[in-house]
Structure 1
Amino acid sequence: MLLHKHLTPELKSRLERLTTRNGWTLRKTIQSGLDHGDSQMGVYAGDSESYALFSPLLHPIIRDHSGHDLSGHTSDFSLDGLPQGDLDPTGEFILSTRVRVGRNLARYAFPPAIGARDRAALEAEVVQVLSGLRGHLAGKYHPLASLSEAERLELVHHHVLFQQSDRFLDSAGVNRDWPRNRGIFHSADMRFIVWVGEEDALRIISMQPGSGLAQTYLRLQTALEQFDGQLDFAQDSRLGFLTACPTNLGTAMRASVLIRLPHLSRRPDFRARCARLGLAVRGLHGEHSEARDGIHDVSNATRLGVTERDIYEQLRTGIHALMEMESAARKRGHPKVAPGN
């Protein structure tokens, strides 16, 4: 765990007397890591100020995890000059595509630290903006606390209902006052979704069946442009968009596909091959889940030190390479793939 690597007794003594204006302390920053020895980083931020006040601990952890020197962050959503055609027009490999970003609002604490009154005010502010969306982004907001069983089952069916957060986030304080002032907004066609009050104040999601990566990406871009000037997102010139978990800093973007790779994924070096392509692998239902029938969730591995454009290009190139490897393995009728394919 990176927390234990970087938190020396001297640094602990130096930082444990500090508190942000929202009451976030070193102890709260590291509580999840203390509770769970299998945590990757072991730290969470309670607000924007956390990244400055506890930078002697957080910045080395972020550098170690990301490999980025924190010299600065640039955002670039342009796709000019990049291929935008369908990656898998026959649907042989890719089941669905999703691109999401995490966002927090600059004037509020993040979900681990936010108080009940501010949580309600944040929800009201966000819902007002969401209600003004037009065209294919227009939709309905569902407060979690008021969902009927029929509404809940419908959202579960469409794979968009988020549940109470995991044990790591529970220790970080994200689950306080559950489920009050949390909810889900979705467009009529379920291709645009916003989670309010999960790990970050907002998870803004574009998704659709099949392999239309460019369509999914551009829908998200359009939504973010509509939010511009209405919601002031927490961000930093070095760290990019500020998130509760430092693993999401930078673009805070995760672009992914559900892809069927039954032959290739049997190889013991499958995950290593994905890593060499700059890709991360999860199970069928995301983090901490297992694959089924050779179906994996494959996404960009890096969010900090890259642009949104970089993520799109790397994912597209990497997924194309994986499909070629899978095709080669199927033709051989053998689960192994020769080196170099």
Structure 2
Amino acid sequence: PSARLCIMESEIVAALYKGIKLLMEKETAAAGGGCSDDCPAELKTIAGIKVSHPDNRMAKHFCNDYYNSLPADKQKLLLLCCKSGYENADSGMGLYAMSPTDYDELKPYFDKVIRDYHGITGDLKHINCWDLSKVDGLPEGGKLDLAALGLGDTSMRVRVGRNLKDFPLPGNMTQQDRVNLELRMTGAFEKLMADPAYGGNYYSLTPDTKYSIDQTKYQELVDAHIMFKDMSADPYLNSAGISSHWPYGRGVYVSEDKGFIVWVGEEDHLRIMCMKTGTCLNDVFDRLQSCLKVMEAQEGCEFAISPDYGYVTSCPTNLGSGMRASLHIKLPFLTKKGKDVSEAKKAAKTLGLSVRGVGGEHTEAGEDGTVDISPSARLCI
């Protein structure tokens, strides 16, 4: 023990004992968690990551005793959920659910990770509510007008992640599962396309279908920020199994006015979003609520919901509302004209906001300092 002053003799010897105990626990973890020779290699890897990457929440909260208490099939499932985290030690989360029921069936483990990430203590019961009148501190009448904040026309987007309750989550889907889900959703989109209030088209990346598109059209949609990028280039999603079987089962529905979009087969079964360039956030928020009601009314579109965690998503970071509301604003001084977003991220974090580049996560700010800003919270909000 280092202390000498203002510490009792009994405390010094106790500190020695306690310190050695903790030190030996770290040594054991570094050696593979005290596993026997026949211990799964994954557990030894996770134990090492606990020490080398303490911010990896998958490893931080992994408990060998809990793992050993599970039947063989659940042990296999738990390691599958953890795979992205132990194959990518630098993960901040490192954990993905593989089926809509995982959060509840593996709750003793998932709950610790969820509470850590979302900063929740005490009771955890998510409630979904779209009523702005129940939120304090808003302008009279609930109009969220960016013009009142000195902003002109702004790119605004609100989206939610949703998963169908009767399919595995993307990390554990077979190629046929992905194709079958897309086929089901195509039927729903055809009804939207026939409705003058929506219209539009569906674009599929699955080869040889009625709605298949070529690489040129796909790149055009990506460049217009309408379609998601090839996920097979993402090591975290690769390890999680989410990017498997690319491009089968992937596509996007786009309404006639291009303001309502549904991604199929990304990190979640569906990413449903509304977007608009303007100054009133209510326009995209209210439209998304209406579109979700239409989607949920379609046959076969029952979304997975956890009793405690709300809408189920592949990644625990998006649980609850599954919502991300964002807009593009210029922060030239906080980003050094797009060259460095670290100051912008630091300033935003203290306000409960996240900063991304204009192309999404892991992209850079625009040359004029334009960044994508959104609230960080998803669960119990």
| Bigger Cα Rg | 2
Aligned with residue 223 of structure 1, among 291, 296, 302 = 291
Map 1:7-26 onto structure 2 (within 5 A). 7-15=62-70, 17-19=72-74, 25-26=77-78
Aligned with residue 108 of structure 1, among 164, 167, 182 = 167
Any conservation in 1 of the 2:222–2:229 contact (CA below 8 Å)? no
1:42-91 Cα deviation digits (max 9, x unpaired): 11001112112222211100001001245211111123465325303898
1:215-269 Cα deviation digits (max 9, x unpaired): 1111111100112333110001210000110100000000001110112445975
1:162 and 2:228 equivalent? yes
Any conservation in 2 of the 1:131–1:139 contact (CA below 8 Å)? no
RMSD: 2.3
Map 1:242-321 onto structure 2 (within 5 A). 242-266=312-336, 269-292=343-366, 293-306=368-381
Name the aligned partner's letter for residue 282 of structure 1: R
Name the aligned partner's letter for residue 74 of structure 1: I
Any conservation in 1 of the 2:156–2:276 contact (CA below 8 Å)? yes
**With structure 1 as the length reference, what TM-score do the two structures score?**
0.82
Q: Which has the higher contact order (CA 8 A, sep 6+)?
A: 1
Match in the other structure for 1:76: 129
Consecutive unaligned residues in structure 2, runs of 5 or more: 1-55, 134-139, 207-211
Range 172-181 or range 210-219, more displaced: 210-219
Name the aligned partner's letter for residue 289 of structure 2: Q
Range 268-277 or range 236-245, more displaced: 268-277
Range 155-164 or range 144-153, more displaced: 144-153
**With structure 2 as the length reference, what TM-score do the two structures score?**
0.74
* Distance apart, 1:300 and its partner CA: 1.0
Give, in whole Å, the separation in 1 of the partners of 2:97 and 2:191. Answer: 30
Map 1:65-214 onto structure 2 (within 5 A). 65-69=117-121, 71-80=124-133, 83-88=142-147, 92=151, 95-133=154-192, 134-145=195-206, 146-165=212-231, 166-214=234-282
* Distance apart, 1:116 and its partner CA: 2.6
Name the aligned partner's letter for residue 130 of structure 2: F
1:14-56 Cα deviation digits (max 9, x unpaired): 3472339xxx711111100011111111110011121122222
1:44 and 2:102 equivalent? no
SS in structure 1 at match of 2:155: strand
1:117-141 Cα deviation digits (max 9, x unpaired): 3322211111111221234432211
Give, in whole Å, the separation in 2 of the partners of 1:274 and 1:163. Answer: 26
* Distance apart, 1:189 and its partner CA: 1.8
Give, in whole Å, the separation in 2 of the partners of 1:268 and 1:141. Answer: 38
